[in-house]
Structure 1
Amino acid sequence: MARTKDDPAAVDEYLAGLPDDRRTALEELRQLVKSTVPEVRERISYGTTVIFALDRDLVGLVAQPKHLSFFTMSPELAASMKSEITRTHKVSGATIHFTPENPLPAPLVERILAARVAKQRPAS
């Protein structure tokens, strides 16, 4: 797999190697990220982690043995949203754990993305 700052083919390859339910769940999350932040770049990092970036890393996702993970890349943001996140999912530091049977709600992901984009590109 290539390790560049923009390599959607590597992301496709990674996702293609996952079991159907995990691939579908992560692909849906991927499409939500890309539709919410159209200018986002994507790549694989550490061989298995999908990273989405603007000026810097924005969010990430990965399939792990017992769950899927969504990386907010911001412990402060995850802490500020902890009560909302823990109503339906587990959170550890800046990482939200979920499963294909219990995907992340789109409105939650959209709020996380809006906060991360605002942090990287504050309004003038």
Structure 2
Amino acid sequence: MDSLDEAVAALGQPERECLERLIALARAAAPDAVAGVSYGIPVLKVGGKPLIGVTASARHLAVHPFSPAVVDQVRGRLGDYSLSTGTIRFTPEHPLPATVVVEIVRARRAEITGSA
């Protein structure tokens, strides 16, 4: 088990299931990504750079694309989610749409690799 899987496995339900789904979508969209830690956050990395990270707090879950530009790219489809410069917050009851997760991963991967 890698650091990302270990961090998620430590969570209770329904948070664990929600983040497992998000990570599975991210891994499918970026099969070359590897698990790691960046800025103290469990992440998937591409080319040694953080692709996407996930965290859980008492009130919400969060995905971190490490890119304000990527958050801005999907902002229009996330009207009722809490957003900040590099973070998108959600709950298991109101998870991120799969299409948005895939778009986030593909956009961030393109930033890292310099290809679309």
TM-score scaled by structure 2? 0.88
> Please, which runs of 5 or more residues in structure 1 have no aligned partner?
1-7
Given residue 90 of structure 1, which amino acid in structure 2 is its aligned partner? S
Q: Does 1:89 align with 2:81?
A: yes
The 2-side partners of 1:72 and 1:13 are apart by 20
Give CA deviations for 1:76-119 in whole Å, capped at 9, x if unaligned.
Answer: 22123322222x41111110000001111011111111111111
Structure 2: state its 5+ residue gaps. none
User: Is 2:97 the partner of 1:105?
Assistant: yes
> What is the letter of the counterpart of residue 67 of structure 1?
H
Equivalent residue letter for 1:17: A
1:1-20 matches, within 5 Å, as 8-20=1-13
* Cα distance change, pair 114–10 in 1 and its aligned pair in 2 (3 A): closer
Q: Is 2:98 aligned against 1:119?
A: no
1:23-71 per-residue CA deviation (whole Å, 9 max, x = no partner) reads: 111111111111111110112452xx32111011111111111000000
Please give the alpha-carbon distance, in whole angstroms, between the structure 1 residues aligned to 2:86 and 2:3. Answer: 24
- Whichever residue aligns with residue 33 of structure 1, its letter is A
Q: Which runs of 4+ in 1 moved over 4 A?
A: none
**2:62 counterpart of 1:69:** yes
TM-score normalised according to structure 1 size: 0.82
Bigger radius of gyration: 1
Residue of structure 2 in register with 1:29 after alignment: 22
Please state whether the residue corresponding to 1:70 is helix, strand or coil: strand
> Secondary structure of the equivalent of 2:106?
helix
| 3-state secondary structure, aligned to 1:20 | coil
